[in-house]
Structure 1
Amino acid sequence: MKRIGLQAQRRAQGSVCQLCAFSTSSISRRFTPFSPRAINRNSLYTTSRAAALPSLRRNEVAYRYSSTVAKSQRASHSDYGVREIISHSDSIISGTSIPSEESVINILKRSQAVVDAAQTDAALSEARSDVKPKKKDAISSLLELDDEGERTQAPQSQKEDPSIATSALSDMLNNLLQDPKVFISPEILRLYTSIQCQLKKADHIPTIFTLYANKPSPRSSGDTISYHPANPKSPKNAIPSTIADQALEVAMEQLNLPLALAIIDSAYCTPAFYRSKILRKASLPVAGMLATPPAAWAISTYLSTLQNTMDPSTARGISFAAILAYVTFTSAVGVVAAVTANDHMRRVVWIPGTALRHRWLREEERQALDRVAQTWGFKDPLMRGEEVGEEWEAIREFIGMRGMILDKTDHMEGME
């Protein structure tokens, strides 16, 4: 039988007990606030904080609606395509000439391809992880444990996280479109919004929406670049409803209330959007209204020749007045019925007394706020009106300032 050596407990040196020795050593390791170590730490903290203040103030607007925590990114990426796209973008930003629209669209399309490939790989890996492995014996699983560990750990250590590359692409696109030399066209805006929505990174979309309408257009004159101010009220600078809805859907999915309200402000509440809506939806009815009097006069002139009971001029005047009265009354009733319809309204309605033209122009804004209220509120119709909290009060106040009512009693379930 082997011997087991027992070692006696060491005694504390000196004439003090172990508790006193421990307390004395712990106190000696501490340092007072006025010690040189504390002074150096405070000075370093103050210096680093003072150096960080300008950068924080500079990036305050850019990350105002940030919904995700920034991750540390590598300086270089293992994917050659990502490195090439980023280098091409950096060359455009650091260049002194105006880039062509085709080159910017090419960068966006290549970024779209990288994002699609990354999402496809993520979907495939998730599908593979969901597949249930076959049942094995306890002994066989223990014997294959070491082999499986060696086979799985080696590839995982070499494989780079695809989210790092996609985050780098997202930051690259933000810097590219914010460059003064890059003109944001409708196609560039559509591709940028589609990529950021796929990546679930809609933090800078309100900034890009604002730049789309207010960014000066660059023009080259020799070796210099001149910038001409844009007209933010022009209908061509309006954000399309499909793009705004796509960005708003991502903000609501992330439950980022400031981002959702910022997207609504920068997309649906601009004069350019109102003028674009008038040209798209009101041009044909206005043209018909202007063409109604001449058409009515021609029809009444023809009808006056089909009778012999009165003077042709009198018959023409009576028929002309009758046609105009009928068309005006019918169109007025139709417009009022179309504008005041509230069957599609769920939680947000207009304040009584709001002008009909404002209701028609701002209908997209009301629909967006209605979607926001449905996202942050209860899903059960019987529980509506019971929501509490800081964000819910902010939504109610924001909607009230826009001339609307949240959860009007007459429209609530069971309160008709």
Structure 2
Amino acid sequence: MIRRPYQPSSGLRLCQACELLSGRQWIRPANRSSAALHLGRRSARLSRTPLIQPVAARSFTTSQPCLKVKRSQEPQGPESSPSRFSRTGAAATYQPPGPDSAAVASAVDRVLRVFLGPSGVPSEATTLTALRGIAQIDVRPAPDVGVSRSEDSAAETRRPASQLLGLDDVAAKAGDAARPQRSPSQRSQDVVDKVSDAAYTIVTQPTVVITRTILAEYVQLQARLGRPQSLPQILDLYASKPKPKLVSGAIRYVERNPSKAESAVDPAVAETALGAAIEAKDLEAAIGILENTYAAKAFLRSKLIKKAFLPGFAVAGTPVAIYYAATQLAQMQHALEPKIATGFAFAGAICYVGFTATIGMVAHFTANDQMKRVTWALGTPLRHRWLHEEERAALDKIACSFGFSEEHRYGEEEGEDFLWLREYILSRSMILDAVDLMPGMN
């Protein structure tokens, strides 16, 4: 809104009448402080300074120091300096510039043109370069400074006093001036959406092979942007996307088995994706990430290979080692025949090791000290508990994040989403907030 020049005749009496009717104290425009004028010149210089250089590999600044304007709580006389605390100075119209949407859009489009221009199957290094070029764009949201000058003026002129004095035309002009303006936070959200969509476009290209490094880079980028909605789909594509191959100048796609152990998502990447969904308070995305990571067949097979192969080999080799030890012990005595002594020693050692190992396994797999809200249902096999422990821990984290934080209020959550989460947990052979395991109920 453009401020009209000060007129000491009829305008003075009109402003005094407005202030008396609205209950606000009149402030002389001539008493503007030098600090407000200096800040106005500084904001004018900032508006002419280019904020973003259109190069994809360079970082982008998104915010400037924000000056919060406060209203004076006590009436001040005309001899004081009230313009420092009033909304009539240049400080009240200052807002942080935020990201330049046009410059960011041009930089992102340049990266997409360079990446999507060549034909053929791009290498992993080329895809990583494109993703990192987009990730270098600084899209930190700019803080809001509250109500702007034009919105405040429009609100003031819509008061009954302004209607009585015939100032409706001023209110209409102020509303028209404030309508096309967008706040810095809205411009920041537009930039974030632009960068997120560009990364999604790169990864979902049919000729792009999503490797572990590319998946980790994409998940970190979306987690930093706060956009986890596309993560379940990308995690599914990581395991099931057809692999392109260049054969005789033509691209052919080879189908993949999503249940193979090599298609499992790394636990660190899965934890980052789940944390991003929880931070964004997106329950649907969190469950989708869970189903494509911890609950997937590929993850379970990978866990069997990595964590159960060596213990299983040790269990299979234990009877052989015990029999060899029994034969050696049988040679050290002369009361029984060697074969009979070997049988006695072997049977005793097998019974001792078997019973001790069984008790230890039961104690290990039935421990619930790490469980907060989600526990296993009665009768769930031990092998199922061990295989799906990461899934249970993830559901426990989701329940604690979307429910009440106070422990004494566990189980009091209401709403359609949380009721659906409770039923989903029950369908996975788990119980949310088991009564017999709550504090004071056992």
TM-score (norm 2): 0.65
TM superposition shift of 1:358: 0.9
Give, in whole Å, the separation in 2 of the partners of 1:97 and 1:322. 67
TM superposition shift of 1:165: 4.3
Match of 1:29 in 2: none
Match of 2:113 in 1: 87
Which structure 2 residues correspond to residues 5-404 of structure 1 after superposition, within 5 A? Answer: 77=103, 82-91=108-117, 95-115=118-138, 118-119=139-140, 164-404=190-430
Checking the alignment, whether the CA contact within 8 Å between 1:77 and 1:83 is kept in structure 2 is no
Change (3 A) 1:167 1:379: same
Give, in whole Å, the separation in 1 of the partners of 2:130 and 2:332. 70
Checking the alignment, whether the CA contact within 8 Å between 2:111 and 2:133 is kept in structure 1 is yes
Checking the alignment, whether the CA contact within 8 Å between 2:108 and 2:198 is kept in structure 1 is no
TM superposition shift of 1:113: 3.0
Give, in whole Å, the separation in 1 of the partners of 2:120 and 2:358. 55
Checking the alignment, whether the CA contact within 8 Å between 1:111 and 1:169 is kept in structure 2 is yes
TM superposition shift of 1:75: 8.8
TM superposition shift of 1:232: 0.8
Change (3 A) 1:387 1:165: closer
Give, in whole Å, the separation in 2 of the partners of 1:366 and 1:345. 9
TM superposition shift of 1:362: 0.9
Give, in whole Å, the separation in 1 of the partners of 2:135 and 2:334. 74
Secondary structure of 2:413's aligned partner: coil
> What one-letter code is carried by the residue in structure 1 that aligns with 2:121?
I
Secondary structure of 1:299's aligned partner: helix
Secondary structure of 1:385's aligned partner: coil
Give, in whole Å, the separation in 1 of the partners of 2:419 and 2:236. 27
Q: Deviation digits for residues 365-406 of structure 1, max 9, x if unmatched? A: 111111111112211111112221111211111111212111
Change (3 A) 1:104 1:287: same
Change (3 A) 1:309 1:262: same
TM-score (norm 1): 0.69
Q: Deviation digits for residues 338-363 of structure 1, max 9, x if unmatched? A: 11111111111111111111111111
Give, in whole Å, the separation in 2 of the partners of 1:172 and 1:220. 25
Checking the alignment, whether the CA contact within 8 Å between 2:425 and 2:431 is kept in structure 1 is yes
Checking the alignment, whether the CA contact within 8 Å between 1:77 and 1:165 is kept in structure 2 is no
> What one-letter code is carried by the residue in structure 2 that aligns with 1:105?
L
Match of 2:95 in 1: none
* Runs of at least 5 residues in structure 1 that lack an aligned partner in the other structure: 5-72, 130-155
Q: Deviation digits for residues 263-312 of structure 1, max 9, x if unmatched? A: 11111111101101111111111011111122112211221221122111
Checking the alignment, whether the CA contact within 8 Å between 1:268 and 1:364 is kept in structure 2 is yes
Q: Deviation digits for residues 207-252 of structure 1, max 9, x if unmatched? A: 0010011111111101211111101111110112221111111211
Match of 1:132 in 2: none
Give, in whole Å, the separation in 2 of the partners of 1:251 and 1:310. 69
Q: Deviation digits for residues 187-219 of structure 1, max 9, x if unmatched? A: 111111111101111111000010011111111
Give, in whole Å, the separation in 2 of the partners of 1:168 and 1:269. 32
TM superposition shift of 1:81: 5.4
Give, in whole Å, the separation in 1 of the partners of 2:106 and 2:324. 72
Q: Percent identity?
A: 35
Checking the alignment, whether the CA contact within 8 Å between 1:82 and 1:165 is kept in structure 2 is no
Q: Deviation digits for residues 117-157 of structure 1, max 9, x if unmatched? A: x55xx6xx87xx9xxxxxxxxxxxxxxxxxxxxxxxxxx99
> What one-letter code is carried by the residue in structure 2 that aligns with 1:363?
E
Give, in whole Å, the separation in 2 of the partners of 1:331 and 1:188. 42
> What one-letter code is carried by the residue in structure 2 that aligns with 1:110?
G
Give, in whole Å, the separation in 2 of the partners of 1:285 and 1:401. 30
More helix by share: 1
Give, in whole Å, the separation in 1 of the partners of 2:228 and 2:115. 20
Change (3 A) 1:96 1:79: closer
Checking the alignment, whether the CA contact within 8 Å between 2:435 and 2:441 is kept in structure 1 is yes
Give, in whole Å, the separation in 2 of the partners of 1:79 and 1:398. 41
Give, in whole Å, the separation in 1 of the partners of 2:132 and 2:280. 25
> What one-letter code is carried by the residue in structure 2 that aligns with 1:171?
D
Match of 2:81 in 1: none
Give, in whole Å, the separation in 1 of the partners of 2:371 and 2:114. 48
> What one-letter code is carried by the residue in structure 2 that aligns with 1:388?
E
Match of 1:25 in 2: none
Give, in whole Å, the separation in 2 of the partners of 1:162 and 1:261. 28
Secondary structure of 2:228's aligned partner: coil
Change (3 A) 1:229 1:263: same
Checking the alignment, whether the CA contact within 8 Å between 2:101 and 2:191 is kept in structure 1 is no
Secondary structure of 1:114's aligned partner: coil
Q: Per chain length, whose mean CA-contact separation is higher, i.e. which structure has more relative contact order (CA < 8 Å, sep 6+)?
A: 1
Q: How many residues align?
A: 308
Change (3 A) 1:322 1:88: farther
Match of 1:62 in 2: none
Checking the alignment, whether the CA contact within 8 Å between 1:76 and 1:83 is kept in structure 2 is no
Secondary structure of 1:218's aligned partner: strand
Secondary structure of 1:182's aligned partner: coil
